[in-house]
């Protein structure tokens, strides 16, 4: 009812607006005196140094946060990471060698495939860490250790705040691992902690831009197909942006690694097709500009999401959303906000049942 929605039209919008607080609630208790402390991890420095590989297993949006963290664990902590869909992992007899840490990510803690994957990993002798939102849920109870995301109850089927908190939990873990393993310096850690603390206010600022995004979204209510492209972390952000849009608006959408465009996807671009291009990674910026030009030549209309200061992107793209400066590993937390708003407003404009999209359940407890 209206009171539960706290004055917002939908739970999805309310939950998007709860993100600044949820993000702060997830990192604050784990930063002490300029150090990352994750007591519930149940691993001392020696155990952290002994990890040889991380295997992340999840479904849907939680899988997307896992994909993002692969780039972060590998880049920042130099630990090899495999990310698997839970429904695939459990049927392929995965090779889990000594020193593998398995991380299962789940908002509900009840997703059947994720729970089965957890059991499989435990059976194979791996230590399992759960990153879970619902306290006392099955995954939280069965994992060896659980790191909670403090998003609070999430009602809308499309996840927003739990997703954002999963990212924060994964940043904290990667920072902890990188610091202990000596792949980042004290100075770098301190700087990252400072950037982390700025995220809630930056997310708030992006949310306050909602009217501009709504206006833009209203132009695409009749779109046949919408594409999202990016490289590296931006590819992972694209996947989530695309899922947000299609699950609530029912508009066909796909996410592509921008370098893969010319291997097939580009034939789908028609006159006026909307392509959302993510450019938050400085080392991939020029490559992405070329990809924008590629789709523009085929008639695409391009919305770019990039870091503040990249005015030159306006020469290549048709519409630009800027995100504030942050650490290169944290850009997902900011770039996803306009994409959540975009998906939401396209769905609202089309008169969709935003909080309860057809055919979907909040928690998928069947295999």
Q: Which of 53, 198, 287, 362 is catalytic?
A: 362
Out of 60, 66, 241, 343, the residue judged to bind ligand AGP by CB under 6 A = 60
Q: Segment contacting ligand AGP (CB under 6 A): 56-64, 88-96, 231-239, 294-302?
A: 56-64
Look up residue 272 and give its two tokens.
């006026």
Between residues 62 and 101, which has the closer beta carbon with respect to ligand AGP? 62
* 107 lies in the binding site for ligand AGP (CB under 6 A): yes
The CB-of-263 to ligand AGP minimum distance in angstroms stands at 26
CA distance 144 to 120: 13
Question: To 10 degrees, what angle do helices 60-72 and 233-249 make?
Answer: 170
Binding residues for ligand AGP, total number by CB under 6 A: 15
CB within 8 Å of 146: residues ≥ 6 apart: 40, 129, 130, 131, 132, 139, 140
| Closest of 162, 171, 125 to residue 144, by C-alpha | 125
Nearest 5 degrees, angle CA 194-CA 198-CA 203? 155
- Report how far Cα 80 is from the mean position of its chain's Cα atoms: 19
The CB-of-177 to ligand AGP minimum distance in angstroms stands at 23
What is the per-residue DSSP string for 277-323?
Answer: EEE--GGGHHHHHHHHHHHHHTT-EEEEEEETT-TTHHHH-SEEEEE
CA distance 311 to 315: 8
The CB-of-133 to ligand AGP minimum distance in angstroms stands at 7
Out of 233, 247, 323, 327, the residue judged to bind ligand AGP by CB under 6 A = 247
The CB-of-185 to ligand AGP minimum distance in angstroms stands at 34
Helix (H) / strand (E) element for 189: namely: helix 186-207
Q: Which residue is nearest to ligand AGP (CB)?
A: 60
Dihedral, 334, 62, 229, 281 alpha carbons, nearest 10? 50
Q: Segment contacting ligand AGP (CB under 6 A): 53-61, 282-290, 323-331, 337-345?
A: 53-61
The CB-of-107 to ligand AGP minimum distance in angstroms stands at 3
CA distance 195 to 41: 23
Between residues 214 and 363, which has the closer beta carbon with respect to ligand AGP? 363
The CB-of-190 to ligand AGP minimum distance in angstroms stands at 32
The CB-of-236 to ligand AGP minimum distance in angstroms stands at 14
Looking only at residues 110 through 169 of this chain, which bind ligand AGP when binding is defined by CB under 6 A? 111, 114, 157-159
What is the per-residue DSSP string for 270-287?
Answer: -TT-EEEEEE--GGGHHH
Between residues 322 and 345, which has the closer beta carbon with respect to ligand AGP? 345
Per-residue mark of binding to ligand AGP, 325-364 (x: CB under 6 A): --------------------------------------xx
Out of 65, 106, 249, 307, the residue judged to bind ligand AGP by CB under 6 A = 106
Between residues 157 and 217, which has the closer beta carbon with respect to ligand AGP? 157
Look up residue 178 and give its two tokens.
């990188």
Looking only at residues 160 through 219 of this chain, which bind ligand AGP when binding is defined by CB under 6 A? none
Helix (H) / strand (E) element for 82: namely: strand 81-85
Per-residue mark of binding to ligand AGP, 61-80 (x: CB under 6 A): xx------------------
Residue 307's DSSP bridge partners are 323
Annotated active-site residue 362? The verdict is yes
Q: Segment contacting ligand AGP (CB under 6 A): 104-112, 174-182, 225-233, 252-260?
A: 104-112
CA distance 66 to 263: 25
Catalytic sites, residue numbers: 362
The residue ranges that bind ligand AGP (CB under 6 A) are 59-62, 106-108, 111, 114, 157-159, 247, 363-364
């Amino acid at each position: 009812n209206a009171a539960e929605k706290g004055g917002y039209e939908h739970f999805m919008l309310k939950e998007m607006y709860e993100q600044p607080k949820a993000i702060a609630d997830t990192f604050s208790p784990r930063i002490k005196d300029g150090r990352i402390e994750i007591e519930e991890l149940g691993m001392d420095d020696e155990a952290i140094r002994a990890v040889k590989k991380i295997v992340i297993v999840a479904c849907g949006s939680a899988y997307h946060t896992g994909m993002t963290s692969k780039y972060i664990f590998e880049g920042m902590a130099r630990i090899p990471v495999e990310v698997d869909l839970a429904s695939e992992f459990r049927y392929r007899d995965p090779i889990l060698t000594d020193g593998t840490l398995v991380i299962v990510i789940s908002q509900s803690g009840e997703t059947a495939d994720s729970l089965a994957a957890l059991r499989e990993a435990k059976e194979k002798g791996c230590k399992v860490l759960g990153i879970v939102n619902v306290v006392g849920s099955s995954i939280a109870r069965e994992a060896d250790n659980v790191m909670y995301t403090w998003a609070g109850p999430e009602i809308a089927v499309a996840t927003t705040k739990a997703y954002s908190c999963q990212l924060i939990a994964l940043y904290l873990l990667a920072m902890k691992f990188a610091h202990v393993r000596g792949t980042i310096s004290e100075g770098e850690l301190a700087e990252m902690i400072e950037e982390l603390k700025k995220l809630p206010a930056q997310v708030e600022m992006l949310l306050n831009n909602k009217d501009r995004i709504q206006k833009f979204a209203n132009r695409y209510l009749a779109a046949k197909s919408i594409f999202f492209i990016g490289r590296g972390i931006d590819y992972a952000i694209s996947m989530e942006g695309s899922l947000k849009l299609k699950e609530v608006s029912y508009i066909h959408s796909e996410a592509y690694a921008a370098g893969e465009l010319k291997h097939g996807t580009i034939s789908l671009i028609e006159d006026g097709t909307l392509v959302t291009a993510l450019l938050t990674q400085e080392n991939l910026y020029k490559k992405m500009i070329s990809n924008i030009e590629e789709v523009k030549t085929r008639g695409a209309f391009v919305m770019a999401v990039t870091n503040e200061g990249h005015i030159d992107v306006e020469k290549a793209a048709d519409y630009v959303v800027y995100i504030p400066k942050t650490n290169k590993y944290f850009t997902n937390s900011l770039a996803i906000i306009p994409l959540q708003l975009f998906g939401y407003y396209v769905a609202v404009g089309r008169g969709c049942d935003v909080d309860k999209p057809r055919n979907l359940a909040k928690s998928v407890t069947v295999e």
